[in-house]
Amino acid sequence: MSIYLDNAATTPMDPSVFEAMKPYLLEHFGNPSSRHELGRKTRLAIENSRASIAEHLKALPEEIIFTSGGTEADNMALVSSVIYSKINHIITTPFEHHAVLHTLNGLKKTHDLKVSYIQHDSKGNLDPDHLNYLLKIHPKNLVSVMHGNNEIGNLNNIQWIGETCRIHGAWFHTDTVQTMAHYEYDLKQLHTHFLAASAHKFHGPKGIGFLYCRKGTELSPLIQGGGQERALRAGTENIAGIIGLARALEIGYSQMDKDRKYIQSLKDLMIHHLQNISPDVRFNGNSEVKEKSLYTVLSVNLPNTGIDWVSALDEQGIAVSGGSACSAGSNSHVLKALGVEMDRSTIRFSFSRFNTPEEIEVAARAFSSLLHTQAA
């Protein structure tokens, strides 16, 4: 039995997404920039997908720019803000994805940029007073805070952060890679200038995502070349990927409430089993707190028994992560920022609508067996 519990790293593609993509892989292959019929058909398909995405997010179609994924979208927003819009102070957190943190570190080396980090408590909850303070003492700010953390599952109140930025006249960028299609977004109400998303995190294809850029916000291209995406993102469009992204988002929105309840029940079941297995089991950040964490992510903290948990569970057909798949082979910057003891181990279980309660039961038994065998 193969059990996949690493959905925060990537999700299996929904079969109906693949069916929507297939004609654009085999039949409708025209270059969208071509003026003949094959090109016009694919151009129309792209623009229909853009309109569908915008409708779900309550945005304008021209505010959606297709990218290769969340990393490119984050880079595009941050690099454009610093280099072309002359933002000289960025406020962020030590918990952001490396697509943000590494980009900011690179920009600091080449530009007159100051980066400040919002203070937080031992669970990773951000200090709102400190954010207000940082916004007051600098005149030209961009705040970059993710909606949901990919390692520990903490949710940030981006509605409040956006409104705080509006009051102070600051720009706001949020990475929603882990939360898109899991939570509703009303971009007429959410005060954000940039928002990044990636299809493969919500049962769409890899290699496609988008950047939302609020109308009137200055944006310059990260990739130079042709005039695709209104000259904001050069390169022939990933037509099938765009079709798949739009279809995956449509499915996610259509069954969001049902999926949330179901996946939360899987997470609750895993928490119940783990707490009964050992009193030494803890959870990182707000991972076990329903109101404060992603219902798809559970970050488990336990004594270091010498077990390589990812490999040991993999041998039993169970796929999990030690933290973030993007940080494989290195210490987690998120856990370090939280102050998690380095003599303890972390396993990240992450769930999707394709998981079953039976799989959770099997995974919990395997975990228990490994832990108690090692203790014996």
CATH of the domain at 93: 3.40.640.10
* Helix (H), strand (E) at residue 174: strand 171-175
Strand partners, 115: 90
Whether residue 325 is predicted with pLDDT greater than 60 in this model: the reply is no
DSSP conformation class of 307 = -
Do 226 and 108 sit in the same domain of this protein? Answer: yes
Measured between alpha carbons, how far apart are the two ends of the chain, in Å?
26
Residue 329 has a pLDDT of 43
The answer to whether residues 149 and 280 belong to one domain is no
Give the whole-angstrom CA distance, residue 256 versus residue 217. 30
- The active-site residue, picked from 326, 337, 362, 370, is 326
> Is 213 among the catalytic positions?
no
Rounded distance, CA 376 to CA 374, Å? 5
Q: What would the pLDDT profile of 251-264 be if each residue is shown by its tens digit? A: 999 999 999 999 99
Residue type present at position 363: A
Residue 185 is encoded by which pair of tokens?
Answer: 């977004």
d(CA 25, CA 11): 21
Residues 228 and 279 in one domain: no
Cα separations in angstroms, 256 against 11, 50, 80, 185, 206: 16, 20, 33, 12, 21
Tell me 67's DSSP state.
E
Could you report the per-residue pLDDT of 62-111, keeping only the tens digit for each? Answer: 999 999 999 999 999 999 999 999 999 999 999 999 999 999 999 999 99
Token readout for 360 is 């959770």
Which structural domain range is residue 272 located in? 3-11+256-375
Give pLDDT, residue 199.
98
Left, alpha or beta for 44 (phi > 0: left; psi -120 to 50: alpha)? Answer: alpha
Farthest-apart Cα atoms in the chain, separation? 71
Q: Same domain, yes or no, for 234 and 289?
A: no
Please say if the pLDDT value at position 373 is more than 90.
no
Phi, psi dihedrals of residue 349, rounded to the nearest 5°: -95, 135
Our CA angle for 171, 221, 72, nearest 5°, is 75
Per-residue pLDDT, averaged over 323-336, amounts to: 67
State the pLDDT at residue 131.
98
Convert the pLDDT of each residue in 284-312 to its tens digit.
999 999 999 999 999 999 988 888 999 99
Confidence class of residue 324 from pLDDT cuts 50, 70 and 90?
A: very low
| pLDDT given at position 307 | 87
**In which band, very low, low, confident or very high, does the pLDDT at 323 lie, cut at 50, 70 and 90?**
low
Among residues 201, 235, 254, the one where a domain terminates is: 254
β-strand partners of 92: 117
What pTM did the predictor assign?
0.95
Q: What residue type is assigned to position 335 of the chain? A: L
Residue 2 φ/ψ region, left for φ over 0, alpha for ψ in the -120 to 50 degree band, beta for the rest: beta
Contact predicate 300/348, CB 8 Å: yes
Q: Classify each residue of 114-132 as buried b or exposed e, where b means 16 or more C-beta atoms within 10 Å of its C-beta.
A: eebbbbbeebbebeeeebe
**37 and 65 part of one domain:** yes
Same domain, 363 and 292: yes
Domain co-membership, 274 together with 142 = no
pLDDT score of 162: 98
Question: Which region among 114-128, 160-174, 312-326, 349-363 has the lowest average model confidence (pLDDT)?
Answer: 312-326
Per-residue model confidence (pLDDT) at position 374? 63
End position of a domain, from candidates 231, 254, 277: 254
List beta partners, residue 213: 194
Dihedral sign from CA coordinates of 260, 265, 268, 270: negative
Per the listing, tokens 């959606």 go with 64
Q: Clarify whether residues 354 and 239 are in a common domain.
A: no
* Best CA proximity match to 208, nearest among 21, 69, 308: 69
Among 254, 275, 306, the domain-final residue is 254
Full DSSP string of 231-292: HTS-S---HHHHHHHHHHHHHHHHTHHHHHHHHHHHHHHHHHHHHHH-TT-EESTTTT-GGG
Q: Domain check: are 204 and 56 in the same one?
A: yes
Whether 240 and 265 map to the same domain: the answer is no
Q: How many folded domains does the chain comprise? A: 2
- Give CA–CA dist 170/163, Å, rounded: 10
**Does 242 share its domain with 267?**
no
State pLDDT tens for residues 167-198: 999 999 999 999 999 999 999 999 999 999 99
Query: pLDDT value at position 372?
Result: 79
